[in-house]
Amino acid sequence: MPDPVQVRSMFGRIARRYDFLNRLLSMGIDRGWRRTMLRTAGQMEGARVVDVCCGTGDVAFTFQAAGADVVGIDFTPEMLLLAAAKDAARSGRFVRGDALALPVRTACADAVTIAFGIRNVADRAQGLAELARVARPGGRVLVLEFTLPPGRISGALYRLYFTRILPFVGGFVSGDRAAYRYLPDTVLAWPDPRTFQREMEAVGLVDCGFRLLTGGIACLSFGTVPRATTPST
């Protein structure tokens, strides 16, 4: 289980190099994944969005560009400072807070997003319950994460990249080997998309599903907060 003190300190150390390494190590594909997240969320003009584990703000800015009013929440001050510095329009709001106890009202958002964040949260069920709490009835919860591609050959190649090349390049550029060993370790321990879908259903989300991206190296999982039903008489 990830230790929040270590996770925060690790992201604090790599914050300055985070965006550069994201682009380098994903070969720019991560931008397309965030755009897929936006398309899956639906019409976002005027929508209220809470982006959890916002980091340097890439998801928040993607949704803002589509007309959403976004609040980004993260517990690492160094990442939040970078997000605020990138916020050229000064329209985004980046707030310090823990994914396990989000500092926002219940049912305040039309959509709640989390990209490459839930894997780092110490109590996944509690983290998912918080995402579901914050979305309004009918609102969507969208979770973007790395996964292991299903095929034997692609799976083996991906493992090789993830366990050898990525820690080497990431460690070299960031100067923090441990941080880029942590990434493959947590991805290899991540549940498969169907198991994760059941975890989303277990916190009360409905219409849950997932979409594998780029041959299954990432997965966009989604669910909806049920609308209140009026009891029949």
Ligand X SMILES: C[S@@+](CC[C@H](N)C(=O)[O-])C[C@H]1O[C@@H](n2cnc3c(N)ncnc32)[C@H](O)[C@@H]1O
Per-residue binding string, ligand X, 60-79, x by CB under 6 A, is: --------------xxx--x
21, 41, 44, 54: which one binds ligand X (CB under 6 A)? 54
Q: Does residue 218 interact with ligand X by CB under 6 A? A: no
> In one letter, which amino acid is 153?
I
Q: Is 158 in the site for ligand X (CB under 6 A)?
A: no
Contact 192, 207 (CB under 8 A): no
Provide the minimum distance between the beta carbon of 59 and ligand X in the complex, in angstroms, as a whole number: 5
Q: Which residue is nearest to ligand X (CB)?
A: 55
Contact between residue 145 and residue 116 where contact means Cβ atoms under 8 Å apart: yes
Instruction: Single out the residue of 113, 119, 121 nearest to residue 57, CA to CA.
Output: 113
Binding-site size, ligand X (CB under 6 A): 20
Pick between residue 117 and residue 193 the one whose CB is nearest to ligand X: 117
Least distance (Å) from ligand X to the CB of residue 148?
17
- Total residues belonging to the chain: 233
User: Please, what is the angle between helix 4-26 and helix 166-174, to 10°?
Assistant: 110
Binding residue for ligand X, selected from 21, 41, 53, 82, defined by CB under 6 A: 53
Q: Which one of the spans 40-48, 98-106, 173-181, 204-212 is the region binding ligand X (CB under 6 A)?
A: 98-106
**CB of residue 46 vs ligand X: minimum separation in angstroms?**
23
C-alpha–C-alpha distance, residues 10 and 197, integer Å: 28
Token representation of residue 194: 């169907």
Give residues 20-39 in contact with ligand X (rule: CB under 6 A).
Answer: none
DSSP, collapsed to helix, strand or coil, labels residue 190 as: coil
1/228 with CB nearer ligand X: 1
Q: Which is nearer to ligand X, 77 or 150 (CB)?
A: 77
- Which amino acid belongs to residue 123? D
State the DSSP string of 162-177: IIIIHHHHHHHHHS-H
DSSP state of 29: H
**Which parts of this chain interact with ligand X (CB under 6 A)?**
4, 7, 11, 53-55, 58-59, 74-76, 79, 98-100, 115-117, 120-121
